[in-house]
Amino acid sequence: MPHDQPIDPPFNDLTGQDRVAQFLTAVIRSGTPAHAYLFAGPLGSGKTEATRAFAQALLCEQGGGDACDTCLRVAHATHPDFHIVPPLGAAGYLAEQIQEIIASAQKAPVRAHRKVYLLTRGDLLSGHAANALLKTLEEPPTDTVFVLMARNRDAVLETLVSRCQVLPFRRIPEDEAIALVVAKTGAAPEDARIALAATGGSVFYAEQFTRSEERRNLRIATLEVLEQLVHADDASVLDSAKLLIVKMRAPLDVVKMEQQRQLEQSRDFLSAGNLSRLETQLRRELTSRERETIGEILDVSSAWIRDLMVLQMPMSSERPVNVDFLTNIKKLAEHMPLDSCVRALDAVSEARRQIQYNVSLQLALEVMLFSLRKELTDTRGPAPSE
Element (H, E) at 2: none
Q: To the nearest whole angstrom, how small is the minimum distance from the Cβ of residue 75 to Zn ion?
A: 10
Strands (E), 104-257: 115-119, 144-150, 165-168
Q: Residue 120: name the closest of 138, 97, 96 by CA.
A: 97
CB of 72 to Zn ion, least distance (A): 8
| In the complex, minimum distance from the CB of residue 71 to Zn ion, in angstroms, rounded to a whole number | 3
- CB-wise, 112 or 177, nearer to Zn ion? 112
Q: What is the amino acid identity at position 51?
A: T
Q: Which is nearer to Zn ion, 66 or 258 (CB)?
A: 66
Residue 299 φ/ψ, nearest 5 degrees: -65, -40
CB-wise, 113 or 283, nearer to Zn ion? 113
Q: What one-letter code names the amino acid at 306?
A: R
Which CB sits closer to Zn ion, 68 or 263?
Answer: 68
Strand-pairing partners, residue 147, are: 37, 118
Residue positions counted in the chain: 386
- Give least dist CB 58 to Zn ion, A: 11
Site of interaction with Zn ion (CB under 5 A) = 60, 66, 68, 70-71
Looking at the Cβ atoms of 60 and 149, the one nearer to Zn ion is: 60
Angle between helices 234-266 and 361-377 (to 10 degrees): 140
Cα separation, 251 vs 272, in Å, equals 29
Total H helices, total E strands in the chain:
15, 5
DSSP-derived 3-state class of residue 118: strand
Of 241, 215, 246, 245, which Cα lies nearest the Cα of 228? 241
Q: How far is the CB of 279 from Zn ion (least distance, A)?
A: 24
- Burial, 357: exposed, middle or buried (Cβ in 10 Å; 0-12, 13-18, 19+)? exposed
Residue 52 or 373 with smaller CB distance to Zn ion: 52
Closest distance of CB 17 from Zn ion, Å: 21
Task: Indicate the residue among 10 and 16 with the shorter CB distance to Zn ion.
Answer: 10
Q: Which residue is nearest to Zn ion (CB)?
A: 60
Least distance to Zn ion, CB of residue 11, Å:
13
Alpha-carbon distances, residue 177 vs 24, 172, 318 (angstroms): 21, 6, 16
- Cβ-based nearer residue to Zn ion, 36 or 60: 60
Rounded to a whole number of angstroms, the minimum distance from the CB of residue 68 to Zn ion is 3
Q: Which is nearer to Zn ion, 59 or 180 (CB)?
A: 59
CB of 8 to Zn ion, least distance (A): 12
Which amino acid, 2?
A: P
Handedness of CA 65, 69, 75, 80 (dihedral sign): negative
Q: Dihedrals φ, ψ of 286, to 5°?
A: -65, -40
User: What are the phi and psi torsion angles at 212 (to 5°)?
Assistant: -105, 110
